[in-house]
Amino acid sequence: MDIGIPKEIKVHEYRVGATPYSVREFVARGHRVVVEHDAGAAIGFGDEDYRAAGAEVVGEAAEVYARAELVVKIKEPQPDECRLLRPGQILFAYLHLAADPGQARLLMASGCSAIAYETVTGAGGSLPLLAPMSEVAGRMAIQAGATCLELAHGGAGLLLGGVPGVAAAKVAILGGGVVGVNAARMAVGLGARVSVIDRDIGRLRRIDETFGNRVRTQLAAAAAIERLVTDADLVIGAVLIPGAATPRLVPREWLTRMRRGSVLVDVAIDQGGCFETSRPTTHAEPTYVVDGVVHYCVTNMPGAVARTSTFALDNATLPYALALADKGKARALAEDAGLAAGLNVDAGRITCAPVAEALGFS
């Protein structure tokens, strides 16, 4: 199969869809790999590294898309990239279509088969291709939030962990999944006072077993969420419903009761965000202020630590990409129901029920 690795063009996105080590695996199985010039340069993978692994390096994205049967990338294709896709071609990437009807329409119009990392499922309903970036984003959320709490970044001038004689900041984490647990781990490590709220009592038990009394757990209810949010210095939005739009858990009216200079970090922004006042931002302009509360809503947070993120994601995606290349789409999806769950768009149709419902296509 012909496999294409284009350079990412989203603002401040430096990850790459496959490392030279993965390219070597594709080539060893008889596949042909075309990589766009400088696709991995920002994170230390030069064109010579890809050539040494057996890939052909070309100068333009259009050639990559024209030649590839399987396109492997990181972030959702931008409009110009969507227009390069064609019927019968396989796109393997993060898509987050529930919050992006424009992209959905372009993918449908292209006729391609688009498989979304974020809805591929594993044992027990796990999300094996979302988990690595959720781990990164959860940890980064605390770093970003701690920075935003500094006066120079619009915050209240708080040190997350405090110092002897001065109380640590209060961190409220909405959601006890992979993002939430990793955010809690970082916040606890920095000495913050941490609370996690989730609607799944089983998750809360696991968090309690992991962190003990270093993290307070709370079963989700509107009153409990309101109390935690309005009392917090830093709120992490870590809510996820696979494939679907994120519920808006925090209405704007609550912001007026938060302390001036408090911070909201919406890790769920890819799926629409869980704060009413959330809107997508970029690494170039990551924050804005509403009612005195700093909002950090970057849609590709792991892109800021692109080398770590690329390796983490590459480890997870390679087996699935190899299956698609070795077997072709039809057989690979037929033999792996979890991979089949990743199919979001096929031959002009939305095929993922939560996405279709969110977009009003059901």
DSSP per-residue codes, 287-302: EEEETTEEEE-BTTGG
Query: Residues near 257 by Cβ (< 8 Å), separated by ≥ 6?
Result: 230
pLDDT of 31 higher than 80: yes
Query: Residues near 207 by Cβ (< 8 Å), separated by ≥ 6?
Result: 176, 180, 181, 184, 196, 198, 215, 217
Separation between Cα atoms, residue 273 and residue 119, nearest integer Å: 17
Q: Is 31 a catalytic residue?
A: no
pLDDT of 313 higher than 90: yes
Separation between Cα atoms, residue 279 and residue 133, nearest integer Å: 20
Query: Residues near 253 by Cβ (< 8 Å), separated by ≥ 6?
Result: none
pLDDT of 152 higher than 70: yes
Region 77-85 average pLDDT: 97
Q: Are strands 32-36 and 2-5 parallel, antiparallel or unpaired?
A: parallel
Which domains are seen in the chain, by residue range?
2-111+306-359 (3.40.50.720), 133-299 (3.40.50.720)
Mean pLDDT, rounded, of the chain: 96
**Distance between alpha carbon 129 and the CA centroid of its chain, in Å?**
10
pLDDT of 288 higher than 90: yes
Instruction: Give the pLDDT of residue 40.
Output: 97
Q: Which amino acid is at 189?
A: G
pLDDT of 271 higher than 90: no
Share of the chain above pLDDT 90, in %: 93
Specify whether the CB–CB gap between 169 and 190 falls below 8 A: no
Query: Residues near 315 by Cβ (< 8 Å), separated by ≥ 6?
Result: 132
Separation between Cα atoms, residue 244 and residue 265, nearest integer Å: 20
Q: In which band, very low, low, confident or very high, does the pLDDT at 245 lie, cut at 50, 70 and 90?
A: confident
Share of the chain above pLDDT 70, in %: 100
pLDDT of 138 higher than 80: yes
- Report field, pTM of the whole predicted structure over 0.85: yes
Q: Name the nearest CA neighbour of 3 among 45, 58, 80, 46.
A: 58
Binding residues: 15, 75, 134, 198, 203, 239-240, 267-270, 279, 298-301
Specify whether the CB–CB gap between 236 and 180 falls below 8 A: yes
Q: Where are the alpha helices (DSSP H) in the chain?
A: 20-28, 47-52, 61-67, 79-82, 101-110, 131-148, 178-189, 201-211, 222-231, 252-255, 306-327, 329-335, 337-340, 353-359
Instruction: Give the pLDDT of residue 39.
Output: 98
Q: In which band, very low, low, confident or very high, does the pLDDT at 362 lie, cut at 50, 70 and 90?
A: low
pLDDT of 244 higher than 80: no
Q: Is 153 a catalytic residue?
A: no
Separation between Cα atoms, residue 30 and residue 7, nearest integer Å: 23
pLDDT digits (tens, 9 = 90+) for 64-75: 999 999 999 999
Q: In which band, very low, low, confident or very high, does the pLDDT at 241 lie, cut at 50, 70 and 90?
A: confident
pLDDT digits (tens, 9 = 90+) for 139-148: 999 999 999 9
Region 77-91 average pLDDT: 97
Binding residues for NAD(+): 134, 198, 203, 239-240, 267-270, 279, 298-301
Binding residues for substrate: 15, 75
Specify whether the CB–CB gap between 325 and 26 falls below 8 A: yes
Buried b (16+ CB within 10 A) or exposed e, 54-86: bbebbeebebbbeebbbbbbbbbbeeebbebbe
- Which one is catalytic: 49, 96, 295, 336? 96
- Which one is catalytic: 270, 314, 336, 346? 270
Separation between Cα atoms, residue 77 and residue 94, nearest integer Å: 9
User: Facing residues of 194 across strands?
Assistant: 171, 215
Separation between Cα atoms, residue 330 and residue 200, nearest integer Å: 36
